[in-house]
């Protein structure tokens, strides 16, 4: 057990061992909770700054550059501002529900983050039987929070935003679930640790068996991350809070600290679902190559998370927002059928274990490629490429 | 009083609350809420007998609950779709006003 | 495992959540609140399941009921808002309904209290539920029911979409630019 | 050999694959679809020939595999290769391949022919599955698939209303029979516990199960075996166009002609006969030579009546395909008779020979229609002998085979075998006489059709410019004609190889009586031919008056026959009306249930008040008014229970539940 890899685990054991035995489990839990509450909001703060700077770079403007070195303390300024602003509750609002909604939005992602293994032996809440299910269950609770926020504000835009959000969350939950099912099917366990363990077998001497290196895993990862973007209300699926259409969607009527909570909840949700994606498809805290295993495992997890965040920021800067009907059609007519097909591909992969590697890839590629091409053709027929008569 | 008795009493109470809702409320959706409560009370009963009963078959209770949950989901979807369709047509969700067979 | 007291504090809290949520769900004047209280009651029930060692079912309970059914119900409440009229009565002969419910609970409770000690013995091995066993059971012995439920759910999906489609004569749909947008999910076109 | 039985599923799989692949091919590649279908079925035919040869050498074999298990229930299916299925297999693949080839020419101009070949392949797959299945359940599934393919193909030109109507009619009519089949299937399963035919002594057609069924009776005193057989026979009646449910078959001619040839003449309609042959051990349960099983008696009479009815109707039809359709109904009746009186071999031999020559006739008709640009009315045809010599020659072979012209034609021998067994049938002589009459009428209407179509000069613009089709059309005709003749070599009573092959245990017929029946049969055929020839010798002259020669001779009879004995009208006037009336009544009841209660109550009340008037004149007015008021109140009270208020119903329901629970608990504790 090398030290840098297990440094946090050892630290925790050291701290816990100071206390008398009866309270040790409690102290351990408190430490884990404290770590989650400290680490992820910190990543959130960093991400907001980096995101604003990156978006600024994409849009040819400097972005925040006044507070702190190169603007990197902007998050502190923002936080202080939102904490000190007046908390306004509209007179027509349903005050109890209006108060509860931000909590219902923020707490589930935190719970979800608790079951993610961020490094070797580093998981706050290990559920060997039902880890993945717990994560998914917690994720669904967000829908209710969004609805509560939109409905209790008694505002047209809020309600529209909430309705859009629920329709979107319900629709994209299916492909999300189905693409995780393929992983569960091949691992044979709902435990996130077992899923990572299953990806740790070595291929060709150097390459680790991440799920994304298999046909169903590659397709599943793409489907999963598309659905994850939509679940996290990220651009290009940010219709529920489209500022050019419905002000700020379901949290239009929130201000000050509650607004900050929504903001936090959204990013925590994004971290959680990305972390799940990393765990399911990108090998969790495993390195890609065996020779790289000297790098501490938690660094791998957070590194992958950072790369994903970078991609998401990049997407946000480049892709235009979808229209509502396009959003729905994309979920039901493309993602859902493709993830169902992906289940078949995964089953085929499982049953063709003794075949030579190339032969295993071929049917999977065919099974997935042909429907994709057919769908692509149908899509092009329905929507011929747009021509810009005056622009070019 | 054993744990089983407690759980059974809880299930019975939940069932009866749901029943009262289904009997009294005039809004179709609220009646549906009552029915959901009754279904869940039944699920609780299954699990109680699985956990504290003489268990002839190890997993009978959970399996039954799983099926019941699936069917309840289908029931809720179809029921709500019906209510929405009725609302669209008659502009009401009051059960008493939906009493004609002719369209 | 130390023997836990039958009426523990945890059970009392959870049962209070279930019962309180249920009572509020069926008696709330505000329909959206009723829907939210339903969610509370069902979360409470999921906690009861968790306490009984049925982790899987507890999570499934929240996933399906809170994540889907409760959301659908509040959604439907929103979609059918136009039908509130000020002078409508809220309840339909509440005395009879509540009376019947209380009577039924009385009968059941009497039965439970009088019959349970003999019928229900404490089990020798505490039952546990491995998800793997559940899966094996579903895919081997309960294969036919499983397939049937799948068929039922498919039929319900299609049926619900069909029923909730606007009838052509009643309310003309807003003409989307590409026709069949959102036909699969009724809620996608807020009216 | 074991390998063969285990891999029998390949035979139906080939056309199924062709259908699946064809479905996904774009429309413009319809030629590829056609080629694929033909290739698949031709390969299946080669495999079928191999299977047939192996059966000729060895015996029957079967293999069962588990399909799925649920709980304690384990459902198994299997394949069987016995003489019965081997012969059917060979016939279907060979005839099917020829018809597929013919179709490539016939449907060449249709842009939808890709769809057509997909359906045809689907049909072939289902039919082959039906033949080969060793499980009544699998057979039923294939049976329904065959019905589906038939529906799709009859309605192939779905934009034509008659075709769409005919498809629906065929589907619904056969469903009636299939309902009986399904009930019989479930019953058989519940009695014998298996739907496998043969399963190492445990199958439902093996002695153990049969002896379990024999000797048990149902509620009405009917033997159990008879009841199940009759239910299964319902399915056969629907599928094989037997008398009450035959109405769909003539209408099915709205489909493309190759479809009529393959499905509604050669194979699918024979599935009913095949089913009865397959189930023969069960059907014949409890019968003897003197006293056949009741189910067989029902079959024989149904067959006899159907045979005569079909033949008589065919006499007065003017559509070339409808004549053949009614002829098919008639011949199916023959097969049923043969099956019921002479055992499976007799019926099946006629099924096989009939498949070849009826497919030949239909394809000939198709060739005529194709050559005459879609003209189907025989009154507008004529003189085609010179314009389409090949079609004429082959059609003549088919016609003679169907009519039973002696010695060289297979139809003669197979029909003779049926007549022979009819003549030895103990219960009644009437079916025998009907059979002979039918044989004569058959020869008559075929002569009429030949003269109408091929003799004389053309009577319409289309037939005047008729032309012979391409070799794709004529070569299958030639092969089928050859087969129609060649089959007679193995079906004569002097060398009944096919019959022995189909049922090795059947008793050889006594040669003494063979000659009598042979001569009688030949005479009947000759009489029919002669009558037709004489009556229609001056057809051109006769048609100037616009009436059929026969119509001038027996006008009333002719009208009746032309109107198909008014079966359709009868159904429309009775069944359809009844259903409508029942619907109307139930609607009225639904609407006014409350008022019915009220009326009943007021009726009772007025009866009471009438009584009180006779007893006490003085209080007449008061009592009457009170009675009416009471009646109104009673009615009002009763109608409250039907007010469409679910919660009131629920309240009553719950009250009942409470009472029940309390009662049960009280009983349990005390």
Residues D231-288: tens digit of each pLDDT: 889 888 988 888 888 888 888 888 888 888 888 877 888 888 899 888 888 888 777 6
The CATH architecture to which C8-86 belongs is Up-down Bundle (1.20)
Residue found under tokens 């019989």:
D184
Q: Is B93 within a domain?
A: yes
Residue B41 has what pLDDT?
A: 92
Whether C140 and D655 lie within 8 Å, measured CB to CB:
no
Whether D647 and C145 lie within 8 Å, measured CB to CB:
no
In Å, the largest CA–CA distance within chain A is 77
Q: Is B103 within a domain?
A: no
* pLDDT for residue C179 is more than 60: no
Whole-angstrom distance, CA of residue A353 vs CA of residue A364 = 12
- Say if residues B31 and C33 touch (Cβ distance below 8 Å): no
Taking residue C116's Cβ as centre, other Cβ atoms within 10 Å add up to: 17
- Min Cα separation D650/chain B (Å): 7
Q: Which domain holds residue B76?
A: 3-97
Whether A324 and C182 lie within 8 Å, measured CB to CB:
yes
User: CA neighbours within 13 Å on the CB side: how many for D525?
Assistant: 22
Q: Cβ contacts (< 8 Å) between D71 and chain C: which residues?
A: 141-142, 144
- ipTM of this complex prediction, to 2 decimal places: 0.70
Is C12 within 8 Å of chain A by CB? no
Whether A166 and C71 lie within 8 Å, measured CB to CB:
yes
Q: Name, in order, each residue with C-beta under 8 angstroms of A18's C-beta and a sequence gap of 6 or more.
A: none
Residue C82 has what pLDDT?
A: 61
Residue found under tokens 């939109």:
A150
Which of B23, B24, B99 minimises the CB distance to D643? B99
Whether C185 and A332 lie within 8 Å, measured CB to CB:
yes
* pLDDT for residue C117 is more than 60: no
A188-234 confidence digits (pLDDT tens) = 888 888 888 888 877 766 667 787 778 888 888 988 999 988 888 88
Whole-angstrom distance, CA of residue A203 vs CA of residue D191 = 57
A340-349 confidence digits (pLDDT tens) = 888 888 888 8
- Closest alpha carbon within chain C to D652: C100
Mean pLDDT, range D17-24, rounded to an integer: 86
- Closest alpha carbon within chain B to C66: B73
Measured CB to CB, residues of chain D less than 8 Å from chain C are 68-71, 73, 647, 651, 654-655, 657-658, 661-662, 665, 668-669
Residue C180 has what pLDDT?
A: 38
- Closest alpha carbon within chain D to B35: D650
Give the B window 53-92 contacts with C, CB below 8 Å.
53-55, 58-59, 62-63, 65-67, 69-78, 80-85, 87-89, 91-92
- Closest alpha carbon within chain A to C131: A129
Instruction: Give the lowest-confidence range in B16-25, D75-84, D214-223.
Output: D214-223
Tally of domains within chain B: 1
Whether C74 and A151 lie within 8 Å, measured CB to CB:
yes
Which of C65, C77, C129 minimises the CB distance to B59? C129
Which of C92, C107, C145 minimises the CB distance to D662? C107
Average pLDDT taken over every residue of chain D: 81
Which of C101, C107, C114 minimises the CB distance to D661? C107
Whether A325 and C190 lie within 8 Å, measured CB to CB:
no
- Min Cα separation D598/chain B (Å): 20
- Min Cα separation C122/chain B (Å): 6
Confidence of residue C1 (pLDDT cuts 50, 70, 90): very low
Whether A382 and C178 lie within 8 Å, measured CB to CB:
yes
User: CA neighbours within 13 Å on the CB side: how many for C183?
Assistant: 15
Q: Cβ contacts (< 8 Å) between C131 and chain A: which residues?
A: 129-130, 190
Mean pLDDT, range C155-164, rounded to an integer: 80
Residue ranges of chain B with per-residue pLDDT less than 70: 1, 54-57, 99-103
- Say if residues D302 and D243 touch (Cβ distance below 8 Å): yes
Residue ranges of chain A with per-residue pLDDT less than 70: 1-2, 204-207, 242, 388-392
Residue-by-residue DSSP string for A309-328 = HHHHHHHHHHPPPPPHHHHH
Residue C191 has what pLDDT?
A: 34
Disruptive mutation site among A146, A166, A327 for chain C (greatest number of C CBs within 10 Å): A166
- Provide the angle, in degrees to the nearest 10, between the axes of the packed helices D136-154 and D224-239: 20
- Min Cα separation D670/chain C (Å): 11
* pLDDT for residue D71 is more than 80: no
| Interchain contact B/A (3 or more Cβ pairs less than 8 Å) | no
* pLDDT for residue C187 is more than 50: no
**Domain spans, chain C:** 8-86, 128-160
Residue found under tokens 């009436």:
D547
Whole-angstrom distance, CA of residue A226 vs CA of residue A335 = 9
Confidence of residue C83 (pLDDT cuts 50, 70, 90): low
Mean pLDDT, range D384-393, rounded to an integer: 83
Q: Name, in order, each residue with C-beta under 8 angstroms of C105's C-beta and a sequence gap of 6 or more.
A: B12, B13, B15, B16
CATH of the domain at B11: 1.10.287.3510
Whether D68 and C100 lie within 8 Å, measured CB to CB:
no
List all chains that touch chain A, counting a touch as 3 or more CB pairs closer than 8 Å: C
Residues in chain A: 392
Whether B101 and D645 lie within 8 Å, measured CB to CB:
no
Which of C96, C111, C140 minimises the CB distance to D651? C96
- Nearest Cα to D498, choosing from D506, D508, D489, D490? D490
Instruction: Give the lowest-confidence range in D23-32, D78-87, D601-610.
Output: D601-610
Whole-angstrom distance, CA of residue D525 vs CA of residue D443 = 6
Disruptive mutation site among A170, A185, A384 for chain C (greatest number of C CBs within 10 Å): A170
Whether A133 and C59 lie within 8 Å, measured CB to CB:
yes
- The token pair at D389 is 């010599």
- Helix (H) / strand (E) element for A386: namely none
Residue C175 has what pLDDT?
A: 40
Residue C128 has what pLDDT?
A: 65
CB pairs under 8 A between C and D: 40
| Interchain contact A/C (3 or more Cβ pairs less than 8 Å) | yes
Is C99 within 8 Å of chain A by CB? no
D498-543 confidence digits (pLDDT tens) = 777 777 655 555 445 677 778 888 888 888 888 888 887 777 666 6
Q: Is the dihedral of CA D309, D313, D314, D320 positive or negative?
A: negative
Q: Cβ contacts (< 8 Å) between A133 and chain C: which residues?
A: 56, 59-60, 63
Return the HEC string of D86-138.
Answer: HHHHHHHHHHHHHHHHHHHHHCCCCCCHHHHHHHHHHHHHHHHHHHHECEHHH
- Min Cα separation B51/chain D (Å): 23
Mean pLDDT, range D75-84, rounded to an integer: 84
Q: Name, in order, each residue with C-beta under 8 angstroms of D197's C-beta and a sequence gap of 6 or more.
A: D62, D80, D134, D135, D136, D203, D204, D205, D278
- Closest alpha carbon within chain A to C55: A130
- Nearest Cα to D281, choosing from D354, D212, D349? D212
- Helix (H) / strand (E) element for A372: namely helix A357-382
- Closest alpha carbon within chain B to C99: B20
Whole-angstrom distance, CA of residue C54 vs CA of residue B7 = 14
A90-144 confidence digits (pLDDT tens) = 887 788 888 888 888 888 888 888 888 888 877 777 777 788 888 888 888 888 8
A232 DSSP β-pair partners: none
Whether A329 and C182 lie within 8 Å, measured CB to CB:
yes
Whole-angstrom distance, CA of residue D210 vs CA of residue D192 = 8
- Min Cα separation A325/chain C (Å): 5
Whole-angstrom distance, CA of residue A267 vs CA of residue A105 = 11
* pLDDT for residue D622 is more than 80: no
- Nearest Cα to D463, choosing from D377, D545, D399, D521? D377
């Amino acid at each position: 057990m090398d030290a840098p890899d297990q440094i946090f685990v050892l630290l925790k054991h050291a701290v816990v061992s100071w206390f008398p035995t009866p309270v040790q489990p409690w102290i351990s839990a408190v430490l884990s909770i404290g770590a989650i509450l400290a680490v992820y909001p910190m990543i959130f703060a960093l991400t907001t700054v980096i995101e604003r700077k990156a978006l600024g770079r994409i849009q040819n403007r400097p972005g925040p550059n006044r507070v702190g070195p190169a603007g990197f303390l902007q998050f502190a300024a923002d936080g202080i501002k939102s904490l000190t602003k007046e908390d306004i509750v509209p007179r027509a609002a349903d005050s109890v529900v209006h108060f509860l909604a931000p909590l219902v939005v923020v707490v589930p992602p935190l719970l979800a983050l608790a079951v993610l293994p961020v490094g070797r032996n580093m998981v706050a809440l290990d559920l060997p039987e039902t880890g993945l299910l717990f994560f998914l269950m917690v994720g669904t609770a967000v829908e209710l929070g969004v609805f509560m926020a939109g409905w209790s504000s008694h505002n047209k835009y809020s309600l529209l935003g909430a309705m859009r959000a629920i329709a979107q969350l319900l629709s994209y939950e299916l492909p999300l679930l189905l693409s995780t099912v393929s992983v569960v099917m091949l691992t044979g366990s709902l435990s996130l640790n077992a899923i990572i363990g299953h990806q740790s077998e070595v291929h060709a001497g150097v390459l680790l068996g991440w799920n994304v290196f298999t046909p169903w895993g590659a397709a599943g990862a793409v489907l999963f991350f598309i659905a994850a973007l939509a679940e996290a209300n990220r651009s290009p699926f940010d219709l529920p809070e489209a500022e050019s259409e419905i002000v700020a969607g379901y949290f239009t009527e929130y201000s000050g600290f509650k607004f900050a909570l929504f903001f936090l909840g959204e990013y925590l949700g994004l971290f959680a679902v990305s972390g799940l994606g990393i765990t399911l498809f990108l090998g969790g805290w495993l390195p890609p190559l065996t020779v790289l295993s000297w790098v501490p495992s938690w660094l791998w997890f957070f590194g992958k998370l950072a790369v994903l965040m970078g991609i998401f920021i990049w997407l946000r800067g480049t892709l235009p927002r979808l229209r509502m009907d396009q959003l729905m059609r994309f979920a039901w007519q493309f993602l859902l059928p493709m993830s169902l097909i992906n289940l078949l591909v995964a089953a085929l992969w499982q049953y063709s274990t003794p075949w030579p590697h190339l032969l295993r890839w071929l049917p999977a590629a065919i099974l997935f490629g042909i429907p994709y091409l057919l769908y692509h053709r149908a899509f092009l027929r329905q929507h011929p490429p747009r021509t810009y008569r005056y622009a070019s | 009083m054993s744990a089983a008795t407690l759980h059974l009493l809880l299930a019975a109470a939940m069932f009866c609350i749901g029943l009262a809702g289904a009997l009294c409320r005039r809004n179709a959706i609220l009646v549906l809420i009552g029915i959901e409560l009754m279904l869940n009370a039944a699920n609780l009963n299954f699990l109680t007998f699985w956990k504290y009963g003489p268990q002839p078959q190890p997993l009978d209770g959970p399996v039954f609950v799983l099926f019941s949950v699936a069917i309840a989901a289908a029931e809720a979807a179809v029921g709500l779709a019906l209510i929405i369709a009725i609302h669209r047509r008659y502009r009401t969700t009051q059960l008493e006003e939906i009493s004609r067979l002719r369209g | 495992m130390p023997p836990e007291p039958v009426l523990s504090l945890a059970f009392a809290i959870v049962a209070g959540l279930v019962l309180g949520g249920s009572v509020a769900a069926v008696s709330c004047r505000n329909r959206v609140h009723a829907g939210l209280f339903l969610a509370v009651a069902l979360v409470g029930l999921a906690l009861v399941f968790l306490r009984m060692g049925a982790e899987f079912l507890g999570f499934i309970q929240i996933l399906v009921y809170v994540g889907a059914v409760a959301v659908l119900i509040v959604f439907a409440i929103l979609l059918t808002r136009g039908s509130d009229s000020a002078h409508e009565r809220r309840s339909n002969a509440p005395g009879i309904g509540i009376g019947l419910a209380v009577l039924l609970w009385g009968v059941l409770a009497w039965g439970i209290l009088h019959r349970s000690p003999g019928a229900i013995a404490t089990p020798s091995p505490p039952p546990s539920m491995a998800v793997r066993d559940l899966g094996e059971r579903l895919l081997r012995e309960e294969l036919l029911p499983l397939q049937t439920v799948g068929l039922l759910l498919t039929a319900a999906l299609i049926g619900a979409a069909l029923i909730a489609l606007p009838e052509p004569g009643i309310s003309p749909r807003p003409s989307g630019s590409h026709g069949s947008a959102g036909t699969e999910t009724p809620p996608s076109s807020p009216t | 050999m074991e390998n063969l039985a285990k891999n029998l599923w390949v035979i139906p799989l080939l056309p199924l694959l062709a259908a699946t692949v064809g479905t996904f091919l774009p429309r413009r590649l319809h030629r590829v679809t056609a080629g694929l279908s033909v290739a698949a079925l031709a390969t299946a035919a080669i495999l079928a020939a191999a299977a047939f040869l192996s059966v000729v050498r060895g015996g029957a074999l079967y293999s069962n595999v588990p399909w799925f298990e649920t709980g304690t229930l384990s459902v198994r299916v299997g394949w069987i290769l016995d003489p019965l299925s081997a012969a059917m297999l060979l016939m279907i693949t060979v005839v099917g391949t020829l018809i597929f080839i013919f179709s490539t020419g016939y449907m060449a101009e249709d842009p939808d022919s890709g769809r057509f070949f997909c359906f045809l392949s689907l049909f072939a797959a289902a039919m082959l599955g039906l033949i080969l299945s060793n499980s009544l359940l699998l057979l039923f599934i294939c049976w329904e698939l065959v019905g589906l393919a038939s529906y799709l193909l009859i309605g192939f030109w779905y934009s034509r209303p008659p075709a769409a109507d005919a498809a629906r009619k065929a589907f619904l009519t056969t469903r009636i029979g299939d309902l009986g089949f399904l009930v019989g299937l479930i019953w058989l399963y519940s009695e014998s516990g298996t739907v496998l035919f043969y399963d190492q002594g445990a199958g439902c057609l093996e002695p153990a199960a049969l002896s379990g069924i024999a000797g048990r009776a149902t509620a009405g005193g009917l033997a159990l075996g008879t009841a199940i057989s009759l239910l299964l026979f319902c399915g056969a009646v629907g599928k094989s166009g037997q008398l009450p449910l035959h109405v769909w078959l003539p209408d099915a001619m709205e489909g493309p002609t190759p479809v009529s040839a393959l499905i509604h003449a050669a194979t699918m309609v024979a599935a009913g006969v095949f089913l009865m042959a397959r189930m023969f051990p069960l059907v014949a349960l409890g019968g003897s030579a003197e006293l056949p099983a009741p189910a067989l008696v029902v079959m024989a009479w149904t067959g006899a009546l159907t045979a005569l009815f079909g033949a008589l109707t065919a006499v007065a039809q003017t559509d070339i395909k409808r004549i053949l359709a009614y002829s098919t109904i008639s011949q199916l009746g023959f097969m049923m008779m043969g099956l019921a009186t002479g055992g499976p071999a007799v019926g099946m031999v006629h099924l096989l020979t009939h498949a070849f020559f009826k497919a030949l006739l239909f394809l000939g008709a198709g060739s005529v229609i194709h050559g005459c640009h879609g003209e189907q009315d025989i009154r507008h045809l004529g003189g085609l002998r010179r314009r389409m010599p090949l079609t004429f020659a082959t059609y003549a072979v088919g016609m003679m085979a169907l009519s039973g012209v002696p010695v060289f034609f297979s139809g003669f021998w197979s029909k003779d075998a049926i007549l022979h067994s009819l003549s030895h049938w103990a219960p009644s002589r009437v079916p025998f006489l009907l059979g002979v009459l039918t044989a004569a009428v058959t020869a008559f209407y075929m002569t009429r059709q030949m003269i109408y179509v091929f003799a004389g000069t053309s009577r319409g613009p289309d037939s005047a410019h008729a032309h012979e089709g391409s070799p794709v059309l004529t070569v299958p005709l030639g092969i089928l004609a050859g087969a129609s003749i060649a089959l007679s070599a193995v079906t004569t009573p002097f060398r009944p190889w096919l019959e022995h092959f189909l049922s090795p245990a059947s008793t050889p017929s006594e040669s003494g009586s063979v000659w009598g029946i042979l001569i009688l049969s030949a005479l009947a055929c000759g009489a029919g031919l002669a009558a037709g020839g004489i009556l229609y010798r001056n057809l051109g002259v006769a048609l100037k008056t616009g009436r059929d020669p026969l119509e001038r001779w027996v006008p009333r009879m002719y009208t009746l026959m032309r109107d198909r004995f008014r079966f359709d009208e009868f159904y429309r006037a009775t069944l359809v009306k009844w259903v409508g009336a029942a619907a109307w009544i139930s609607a009225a009841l639904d609407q006014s249930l409350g008022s019915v209660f009220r009326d009943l109550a007021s009726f009772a009340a007025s009866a009471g008040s009438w009584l009180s008037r006779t007893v006490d004149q003085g209080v007449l007015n008061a009592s009457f008014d009170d009675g009416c008021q009471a009646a109104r109140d009673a009615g009002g009270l009763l109608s409250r229970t039907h007010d469409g208020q679910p919660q009131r119903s629920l309240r009553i329901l719950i009250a009942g539940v409470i009472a029940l629970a309390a009662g049960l608990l009280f009983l349990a504790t005390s």
